[in-house]
Amino acid sequence: MIKEKRDRMTVQRMDNVGIVVDDLPATIAFFRELGLELEGQAVAEGEWAGRVTGLGEQRVEIAMMRTPDGHSRLELSRFLAPPVVSDHRNAPVNALGYLRVMFAVDDIDETVARLRKHGGELVSSEVVQYEDSYRLCYIRGPGGLLIGLAQELG
């Protein structure tokens, strides 16, 4: 067995998950309804931003959303230039790549009902219970954005 070396620098934390969206205001409202707080909005543009992404000159509206515990963030980005080149929102759940973000919630039925007012739709027709541990579902939000919800039981 190989022993892991512990004296080197490792990841300090996961800073955020980035999601490209087509309707920033609707997506912000959806995640606010879920309970995330809008930390701030900005426009990232110019040569420096393009060097980070490899896209060259770009102009992107960004909104940073924070979970109530303050530990996790979503960076919502709407590209103004260059235009979006592909769309993975309708890919099946077994497609390669990033799929969804899962959120722990207190009351999954109440959360689904609130998100429906913002265009949220269950992927299947029901919230599913796993043993006596969790109730789970996938829900599509604005523009088909896929998220997961989990309510721990007991």
Tell me: do 45 and 73 sit in the same domain: yes
Q: How far is CA 44 from the centre of its chain?
A: 19
Query: Which of 83, 113, 143 is where one domain is finished?
Result: 83
Q: Which residue has the tokens 């109530």?
A: 68
Phi and psi at 115, nearest 5°, equal -70, -30
* Structural domain includes residue 150: yes
Tell me: do 19 and 74 sit in the same domain: yes
The mean pLDDT of 79-101, rounded to a whole number, is: 82
Structural contact between residues 58 and 49, judged by C-beta atoms closer than 8 angstroms:
yes
Tell me: do 19 and 78 sit in the same domain: yes
Tell me: do 24 and 73 sit in the same domain: yes
* Structural domain includes residue 136: yes
Percent pLDDT > 70 in the chain is 95
The mean pLDDT of 127-145, rounded to a whole number, is: 93
* Structural domain includes residue 135: yes
Q: At 42, which helix (H) or strand (E)?
A: strand 37-45
**pLDDT reported for residue 96:** 79
More confident residue, 95 or 18: 18
Tell me: do 48 and 77 sit in the same domain: yes
Closest residue by Cα to residue 24 from 50, 47, 42, 45: 42
Query: Which of 27, 53, 83 is where one domain is finished?
Result: 83
Tell me: do 75 and 128 sit in the same domain: no
The mean pLDDT of 130-138, rounded to a whole number, is: 95
Query: Which of the 8 DSSP states describes residue 3?
Result: P
Structural domain of residue 135, as residue ranges? 99-154
Mean residue pLDDT of the chain comes to 89
**Residues 6 or more apart in contact with residue 126 via CB below 8 angstroms:** 137
Q: Which pTM does this prediction carry? A: 0.85
**pLDDT reported for residue 2:** 57
108-116 and 24-34 helices, crossing angle to 10°: 160
The mean pLDDT of 66-88, rounded to a whole number, is: 91
The number of domains in the chain is 2
Closest residue by Cα to residue 70 from 37, 108, 28: 37
The CA–CA distances, whole Å, from 71 to 16, 68, 96 equal 9, 8, 27
The mean pLDDT of 120-130, rounded to a whole number, is: 93
* Structural domain includes residue 2: no
* Structural domain includes residue 106: yes
Angle at 28 between CA 23 and CA 31, to 5 degrees: 125
More confident residue, 46 or 137: 137
* Structural domain includes residue 10: no
Q: Which tokens sit at 44?
A: 């990232």
Structural contact between residues 73 and 67, judged by C-beta atoms closer than 8 angstroms:
yes
* Structural domain includes residue 94: no
Q: In CATH, what number is assigned to the domain containing residue 47? A: 3.10.180.10
* Structural domain includes residue 89: no
Query: Which of 31, 51, 83 is where one domain is finished?
Result: 83
Structural contact between residues 13 and 46, judged by C-beta atoms closer than 8 angstroms:
no
